[in-house]
Amino acid sequence: MAKRRANGEGSIYKDEKNDRWVAVITHGKKRKAFYGKTRQEALTKRENFKNSGGTTTKELILYDAMKNVIDYKFKTGETRENGYYTNKSTLKRLEESELAQMSIPNITLDDLKEYLATLKDYSASTIKKTYAMINWGLDYAVEKNIISVNLLKNSITVKKPKSTQMKEKVIALELDEERKLLKVIDSLLEPLKYQNIWQLALFTGMRIGEILTLKKTNIDFKKKEIHIERTLTKNENGKTKIGNYTKTEASYRIIRMDKNAEKILHIAMNESLAKTELLFSREDGTFITSGMVYTSLKNFVKKYKIAPKCSLHMLRHTYATRLIEAEVPPRIIQHLLGHEGIQTTLDTYTDVFKRCENKYRDKIEEFYDSFDISVVNKLDDSMLIERELLNFMELVEKSHFTDSQKVLLMNDLNKIKEWCKLA
């Protein structure tokens, strides 16, 4: 029987996947890893740690600093519940890295460059969250006087890496696809289980989590308002639940209901169960999950050949696209969608805005024409031809034609030029 290692004795093994050695030690109730390109390098790091008597304030590791920050942000209410669990997920991904387990004063620019370079194959969103969390940890160390400067902020060479992944384009239903979806729903003899939810997303742009957590009291038919106060989120174990807040502060909003949304909400209110505060619920009064709604939508779209594909978020994108096509100002779109900043709206729907550029240009030209605003000294046809002739004559002079060929060509061109002056 193998001898059991005592607390603090540790183990060492080769991490084949990342081609490095890992020396592990149990420090208190936590396992701490030390990495090296060679077995001896990993062992030396571990021994230095043991000889120093463990982590002191000056030897605070990056992982602990980052954890302290995200816990503090949640405790003070700066980060909401869903954001906190997202941060914990990012921290968990960072935990196994050598950088996260390093003593902060020992972290060099090369260490940061080496780790950040490994992120380029992740999505832009993952890179952004990871980069921000490392920044938080280093800022925390500066605040605690463990280091004097945050190397990420004070270096011109260490930058957030760009993702190699192609940015996913926003896909919305085309006008004829949206029209077909609504007509098929209207033609069915028996209403579909979640059709009111789909249609509400199409005519309000609300996130599916916001719709599924609506309370009956959030609907004000007198003022024609929808009060969005919370959304679906996940707990620490990844299980879906009703959150106490919206996704961000900007997501907490009041939006007007148009005539289509009003019709849908009246129907939904009549069909809702008396035993629950929820506008949409299961038979037992509990909340509906987004997965249930998506599955039914996907099957419906496929069965009736509405579009090549359709997701719940596409319904939100469709609403936003119609707003842009209707020339609703971006700032209003930002509020209706609950985006935290105007840049989010502009970045998310860049392609849609570009697609509408020609229409905006035509409107500008129409505006100028209506007030008879135009360039007075327009070039007539003869002047345009003469200008092009001069350009062509320059090309002839620089060409590889023989001198006799150049003379013949220039004579003909000069005749045309004289004709233009007389015209």
Between 17 and 306, where is the model more confident? 306
pLDDT at 323: 92
Residue 235 is predicted with a pLDDT of 80
Residue range 354-371, pLDDT digits in tens: 887 777 777 777 877 787
Cα end-to-end span (Å), the chain: 109
Q: Compute the average pLDDT of residues 104-110.
A: 90
Q: Residue 15: is its pLDDT beyond 80?
A: yes
Least confident of 67-81, 133-147, 161-175: 161-175
Please give the mean pLDDT across all residues of the chain.
86
Return the structure tokens found at 357: 């550029």
pLDDT score recorded for residue 35: 79
The pLDDT confidence band at residue 141, using thresholds 50, 70 and 90, is very high
Window from 15-29, 261-275, 309-323 with minimum mean pLDDT: 15-29
**Per-residue pLDDT averaged across 238-259, rounded?**
89
Rg (CA), the chain: 32
Q: What span, in angstroms and rounded, lies between the C-alpha atoms of 257 and 224?
A: 5
More confident residue, 240 or 375: 240
d(CA 423, CA 419): 6
β-strand partners of 254: 227
pLDDT of residue 38: 87
Least confident of 4-13, 45-54, 201-210, 221-230: 4-13
- Which fold, 178-361? hpI Integrase; Chain A (1.10.443)
The tokens of 417 are what? Answer: 């030029």
In sequence order, the β-bridge partners of residue 27 are 30
In angstroms, the Cα distances linking 418 to 171, 385, 397, 409, 411 are 58, 11, 19, 14, 11
pLDDT for the residue 26: 77
- Least confident stretch, 74-88, 281-295, 376-390: 376-390
Q: For residue 334, what pLDDT band results from cuts at 50, 70 and 90?
A: very high
Structure confidence at residue 3 (pLDDT) = 41
> How far apart, in whole angstroms, are the C-alpha atoms of residue 206 and residue 124?
24
- Cβ atoms of 97 and 139 within 8 Å: the answer is no
Q: Is residue 58 very low, low, confident or very high in pLDDT (cuts 50, 70, 90)?
A: low
Domain boundaries, the chain: 11-143, 178-361, 381-422
What is the model's pLDDT at position 99?
94
What was the pLDDT predicted at 4?
42
* Region 105-120 average pLDDT: 92
Most confident of the following: 40-54, 217-231, 386-400, 404-418? 217-231
> Which of 361, 360, 333 lies closest to 347, judged by CA?
333
pLDDT band for position 423 (cuts 50, 70, 90): low
**CB within 8 Å of 255: residues ≥ 6 apart:** 204, 206, 225, 226, 228, 335, 336
Share of the chain above pLDDT 90, in %: 49
Q: In this structure, what token pair is assigned to residue 376?
A: 């007075």
| Most distant CA atoms of the chain, gap in Å | 111
pTM above 0.75, yes or no: no
268-294 mean pLDDT: 93
